[in-house]
Amino acid sequence: MLKPFHLRRSAAHTKLQGLAKEVGQMHMLRHFEEDEDRLNHMHLEVGPIYMDWSKHRVNEAVMKALFELAEEADWQGGIRQLFGGDPINQTESRSVLHMALRGEAHDAFHVQGVPVMPNVLATRQAMLAYADGVRTEGQVKDVVNIGIGGSDLGPLMVTKALRAEGADGPRVHFVSNVDGAHLEAVLGKIDPASTLFIVVSKTFTTQETMANAEAAKAWLADALGVTAIPNHFAAVSTNVPAAEGFGVPSAHIFGFDDWVGGRYSLWGPVGLSIACSVGSESFQALLNGAREMDRHFAGSPARQNMPLISALLGVWYREYLGFPTHVVLPYAQDLDRFPAYLQQADMESNGKYVGRDGQPVVHSTGPVVWGEAGTNGQHAFYQLLHQGTTVHPVDLIAVKEPLSQFNSHHQKLLANAIAQAEALMCGKSRAEVEEEMRDSGASEDHLASVAPHRVFEGNRPSTFILLSALDAHSLGMLIAFYEHRIFMQGLLWNVCSYDQWGVELGKALAKNILSEWQGSNSSAHHDASTSALIEKLRGA
Ligand code: F6P
């Protein structure tokens, strides 16, 4: 178990509160003026990832206090417990060892003293052999991943991001929503004879996934007969008996252990659809990238530690400056599902108000995470980022290597990414606006009425993350970077990052409402509003 940590009772907290009033309000440009060497000590390069964190409302005093906060929370002890297989998922009495899924034979990952790598490697080998078979035998033209949440978002995001590496693989589709339109739209595009369905569910009980899997099975049986089902279905789950009961042959079932959280699971069999798309070599490169980030995180001192620094900046903004959200802006169309993936990873992990000691926390916890691929977002919500009344710190993620055959597009894309970071920080003063307007011949009346609207106060923080290429290795590193950032923030915020009790109530109530609707339960009591909605749908 991770020790409870009471952020507001720490010595660093008082310092940070004071600093928030001074440094937190200073314009970042002043920091650049006062410290010519700022960029030198506020950037990091780890393998193919360059992170510039100089455009933040921090100076040496703030960073020193933030590092002290991390020390008080015993961040290194936390890492030792995580990698050591301690049951830090305390409410479920489980270890948290997704790092083992990208481990190598000599890595010493243990759960309750038992080494896990032999099993992990055997499953990886079987799963990759199966995926390569799907790719090379040529009968499968379409793979449909049926799953939701962590059994969907990670594989979907990675498969999209590695579009180029998957160009010679089968087409991969994702069905998650219990809205039948999702399944219908995919079934309309595929031929049952050349389709493989992969049912992915850690529990193999999730309502949405089971409904979609049953419907897909019926659709296939209708077209090809029930005897065809075993050949067209594979399954991934910790609940192997349930997958067998569904009708998937044991040879096509890939199990994993409960010490892998759903939202951290793409590295193992949950990534089967990724492997079918890109092949075993690229999948292994994805794992190697993540492992490189694991080693960086576990082995680097605070001032060189990318996930720790990013986590501390997030805590500074959320707790000390009161900024409620964190924006993720990938300047890569192929990463357009990255914000959605990160929403689950971060918000399902750290969106909690009860601390590790079972008491409600008195400080803020995880921010709202949101975002969109650039430049699309620029033409939608950046207005608010630049001139809204609340500051929203952003991560801009860009890729140096062109992402398509259209090289000049890439230059435009990157120019926009860099320009946004500059605009967010520098803004535009009233004097600059007036000069510009006078130069373009504006009348003094027009200037007086319009100039205030054209002023950008700036001082809006951003981290610039530049990948050398959007390949499997760099992507693996990027995802693991965010996983560890989430871990560090959860440690500081004193929450249990690896459970998700907050999603259970809605699931249970939906079951009740459904059985009421279908007439098998008439005893449920609801508030007047809920009852009226149910009645409306019943047509009464
Ligand atoms: O409802 C939330 C959740 O439990 C997620 O944590 C999980 O990723 C998702 O549902 C799907 O669960 P499963 O993989 O068991 O179907």
pLDDT tens sequence across 278-301: 999 999 999 999 999 999 999 999
Structure tokens at 373: 């691929």
80-104 average pLDDT score: 98
Catalytic residue among 348, 372, 392, 483: 348
Which residue bears the tokens 């992915």?
A: 200
Kindly give, in sequence order, each residue whose CB lies less than 8 Å from that of residue 456, ignoring residues fewer than 6 positions away. 386, 387, 423, 427, 428
Distance (Å) from CA 261 to ligand 1 centroid: 9
pLDDT computed for residue 538 by the predictor: 82
* Helix 528-538 and helix 504-517, axial crossing angle in degrees, nearest 10: 50
Do β-strands 233-237 and 195-200 pair in parallel, antiparallel, or remain unpaired? parallel
pLDDT at residue 520 above 90? no
Q: Could you tell me what percent of the chain has a pLDDT over 70? A: 99
Which residue bears the tokens 């300047």?
A: 331
pLDDT at residue 523 above 90? no
Structure tokens at 201: 């569910």
Ligand 1 atom nearest the C-alpha of 263 is 8
Q: Whose CA is nearest to atom 8 of ligand 1?
A: 150
pLDDT tens readout for residues 136-147? 999 999 999 999
d(CA 51, CA 263): 24
Contact in structure between 421 and 55 (CB atoms under 8 Å): yes
Active-site residue flag, 244: no
**What is each CA distance from 90 to 77, 78, 237, in whole angstroms?**
16, 13, 22
pLDDT at residue 179 above 70? yes
Which residue bears the tokens 């296939």?
A: 220
Distance (Å) from CA 208 to ligand 1 centroid: 10
Catalytic residue among 41, 141, 189, 379: 379
Prior bond of 375 cis (ω within 30°): yes
Do β-strands 171-175 and 142-146 pair in parallel, antiparallel, or remain unpaired? parallel
Q: In DSSP terms, which residues pair with 146 in a beta bridge?
A: 175, 199
Output the ligand 1 site: residues, CB below 6 A.
148-151, 201-203, 206, 209, 262-263, 348, 500, 503
Ligand 1 atom nearest the C-alpha of 265 is 8
Per-residue pLDDT band at 540 (split at 50, 70, 90): low
Burial of 423 (0-12, 13-18, 19+ CB in 10 A): middle
pLDDT tens readout for residues 1-22? 999 999 999 999 999 999 999 9
- The string of DSSP codes covering 459-470 is ---EEEEEES--
Ligand 1 atom nearest the C-alpha of 504 is 1
Active-site residue flag, 141: no
Q: Could you tell me what percent of the chain has a pLDDT over 90? A: 96
Distance (Å) from CA 52 to ligand 1 centroid: 34
d(CA 71, CA 302): 9
Distance (Å) from CA 200 to ligand 1 centroid: 10
The pick from 203, 212, 272 for probing ligand 1's pocket by mutation, whose C-beta has the most ligand atoms within 8 angstroms, reads: 203
d(CA 283, CA 472): 7
Active-site residue flag, 507: yes
pLDDT computed for residue 334 by the predictor: 98
* Helix 60-72 and helix 306-315, axial crossing angle in degrees, nearest 10: 100
The pick from 151, 214, 347 for probing ligand 1's pocket by mutation, whose C-beta has the most ligand atoms within 8 angstroms, reads: 151
Structure tokens at 84: 């050591």
Q: Whose CA is nearest to atom 5 of ligand 1?
A: 149
Which amino acid does the sequence have at 66? L
Burial of 537 (0-12, 13-18, 19+ CB in 10 A): exposed
- Cα 56 to chain centroid distance, Å, stands at 22
Which amino acid does the sequence have at 225? G
The sign of the CA dihedral 320, 321, 325, 330 is negative
Structure tokens at 118: 């032999």
pLDDT computed for residue 414 by the predictor: 97
327-344 average pLDDT score: 98
Burial of 258 (0-12, 13-18, 19+ CB in 10 A): middle
Kindly give, in sequence order, each residue whose CB lies less than 8 Å from that of residue 112, ignoring residues fewer than 6 positions away. 85, 95
Per-residue pLDDT band at 62 (split at 50, 70, 90): very high
Ligand 1 atom nearest the C-alpha of 150 is 8
Instruction: Report the mean per-residue pLDDT for the chain.
Output: 97
Catalytic residue among 3, 189, 412, 507: 507
Distance (Å) from CA 152 to ligand 1 centroid: 9
